[in-house]
Amino acid sequence: MKFIEKLPQYSAALILASAFILMPNAASAVAAGGCDSYTPNTASGSSQTVACNSSITPVATAGVISTQNTTTVGNNVTVNIANGTSLIIDGSTIGIGSNANISNHGNLNTSSFYYGYGMSSGANGRSQAGGNTFVNESNGTIYTGGGYAAGMYVSATNASSAANSLTNDGRIQTDGTGAAGIRLVSGATTSTVVNSIVNSGTIITNGSAAHGIQVSGVGAVTIENTGTITTNGANSFGIYSAGKISTLTNSQGGSNPLTFSGVMPTNYNAAIASPTVYGKLDASNGTVTGVMNFAIANGSTVSATTYSTVLSGIKVNNLGNSYGNVTIGGTQYQWALVHRINGSADQTDLVLSTVVQPTLVALEETLATQSYLIAPIEYDTQVALSSMGTALQGLFAMQSAGVINGMSYDCSLFRANNVCVSAGGRFTNVSAYPYNNSSALIIGGYRLSNNIRIGGYLDQNLSQSTPGGIAQLNNGSPMVGVFGVWSQNPDGTGAEAKLSAGYANKGATLTRPVVGVSEAGSGSTSLTSQGVLGLLKYGFGLGNKTVVSPYAGMRYLVGGMGGYSEGQSSTVSSPLSYNAINNYTTTVLAGVSGVHKLSEKTSLLASAGVEKDTNTNVGNLVTTGNGYFNIAMNNNYRTTRPTASLGVFHDLSINERIGISAIYRQEAYQALTSTTVMATYTVGL
């Protein structure tokens, strides 16, 4: 009895009453009634040819279906469907094992059967060895009316699977959710195994998530579309790739471009026949990943002109190149993928010229005279953003160093009014890069009692420099902070506790550096850093000139960058948007500080310590919009870092003091170091 192809989840077959006659010659057999309800049952290593002709009367009850759930039989089968033959059944029409050769000149119709396949190999537990050749000839038609069906379906998931060749020269139509015109799953891991899909006919799908050509798996596949693929359903695309398309060649364009979603092909060739007939690839409604290299297909007929909208919806991070030279018909052309100035970044045009510019700069200048900007590409933009990330690391380090050092500010010289005022200047440099920051500061303190003092400070930037013109910082807002100190003894011996907090916010204009064809996108944001510090120390007097104080404490610091978007301009066609960068660290501190009197009026201060991050979050530089990039900001991040300071102060009088000090810190980002020098004049009132 004949077993009809069933849904994958069905375990039992429906036994039909139609019988079949197996010819004695296993190498060549013809089913009774011309393929009606015929089961090829080839053993491993043998082959069989099945001829389907127009003698099926009145209607076929089943197609050519090999035994399910076995990998040893039903392989090496050749099926030829003659012109005029119709297999119209409620089930799959041709379903066999691996190494199949199917040629269809007739009409394959699976009716409304779910998971109905016009022609398939490897489905329902059959061999996954691949090696199939499927052809829907120019006079062949395939129709499926059920959900999750496919006109052609090959499942070859083995790592050792052979290459498959699927060709549609005729017409394939599917009506149903998830139904594909051609579906290929390849697990081949051998680099020499390359599957091939060619469509020179017509593929039409009607239904949501019903794709014209659908590929998945790790096996490489080339796709050539010189026909027409039309999809009529939500989330349906001419090509949907969850696999590895090595090369896609396409001539479909006009008002019905080839739509695409999924993993971009490694190489894309636009076939050009004339200034009005050429391939267009539209990913504007899809979700795409990966990087694609563009080229003009061999055999194209081109002119020195502009081909509008050859690409749609291809983001910066999906394009691997955007200009080059090509020789066609003995003429050398220079080509460039371009965006129109102040036009949509989703539309990419192709400009060809017989005048080959000698440099990229010359090409960009020539395109500008035509109101075009060359399309930025993934590699150049990635390098530019990496440089920008490095610059931001330095900015974060400089700002956090200011806040951390600010939380060490104090004012402890008091007289009768219990007031202390200190004014001075600060200079901070972050190593390896020219990050310099100069500021004026004022610190005020008030003595509540002999043991308790409180205070605050303002630290106003006067000038600063950053590398490469990447950042311009606004000096409008000063860094602010407060502190409170309890000390057991006025001379620094005994116990002391300090609690302090600081806050800094700076407006910043950030501009990406230009690398190759990347763009100098620019936008405004703010950089913030704020923290709180708790510190305990105990001073031991050594003689009457020296006090040594071991200390320990904890600090919490949070900061980063606000999200922002670049602006489009006459020089920026693909502005990027940036997510906020949020950083925070919880740090424990330990070390020792000391004060030594050099004379009655002059004292030397020094400290050395270590800090250890116990909880850290370092945000990445992430862009969205016209291009998705994710730049790591925690390269070589160090959680354990040394600190040291050295200073001297001199009493001018009983209520006046001058001082100078230097603070060295190893910063977390990229093992940067910061050095801060401060000079102050303090008055006790």
Separation CA 186–CA 245 (nearest Å): 11
Separation CA 251–CA 259 (nearest Å): 12
9-40: pLDDT as tens digits: 333 232 222 322 223 333 333 333 357 778 88
- Tell me the residue length of the chain: 685
Q: What are phi and psi of 666, to 5 degrees?
A: -90, 125
Question: What DSSP line would sit under 279-346, residue for residue?
Answer: --EE-TTS-EES-BEEEEPTT----SSEEEEEEES--GGGBS--EEEEEETTEEEEEEEEEETTS-TT
- Give the residue carrying structure tokens 């006079």: 139
Which of 485, 405, 469, 422 is CA-nearest to residue 685?
A: 422
614-641: pLDDT as tens digits: 999 999 999 999 999 999 988 778 899 9
The pTM assigned to this predicted structure is 0.88
What pLDDT is stored for residue 672 in this prediction?
81
Per the structure block, which two tokens stand in for 481?
């902070």
Which of 250, 339, 243, 240 is CA-nearest to residue 300?
A: 250
Q: How far, in whole angstroms, is CA 215 from its chain's centroid?
A: 21
What pLDDT is stored for residue 30 in this prediction?
37
Q: Name, in order, each residue with C-beta under 8 angstroms of 599's C-beta and a sequence gap of 6 or more.
A: none
579-601: pLDDT as tens digits: 999 999 999 999 999 999 999 99
Per the structure block, which two tokens stand in for 622?
């992430």
Separation CA 409–CA 457 (nearest Å): 8
Sign of the CA dihedral running 228, 229, 233, 239: negative
Say if residue 671's pLDDT is above 80: no
Residue 8 pLDDT grade (very low, low, confident, very high; cuts 50, 70, 90): very low
Q: What is the mean pLDDT of the chain?
A: 91
Q: What are phi and psi of 389, to 5 degrees?
A: -60, -40
Separation CA 100–CA 40 (nearest Å): 11
128-157: pLDDT as tens digits: 999 999 999 999 999 999 999 999 999 999
What pLDDT is stored for residue 517 in this prediction?
98
* Local structure of residue 670 (DSSP, 8 states): G
Per the structure block, which two tokens stand in for 164?
């498959």
Say if residue 443's pLDDT is above 70: yes
Map residue 183 onto helix, strand or coil.
strand
Give the H or E element holding residue 364.
helix 360-369
Which of 99, 18, 9, 127 is CA-nearest to residue 63?
A: 18
Mean pLDDT value across residues 485-502: 96
37-77: pLDDT as tens digits: 788 888 767 889 998 886 655 556 778 999 999 999 999 99
Q: How far, in whole angstroms, is CA 406 from its chain's centroid?
A: 38
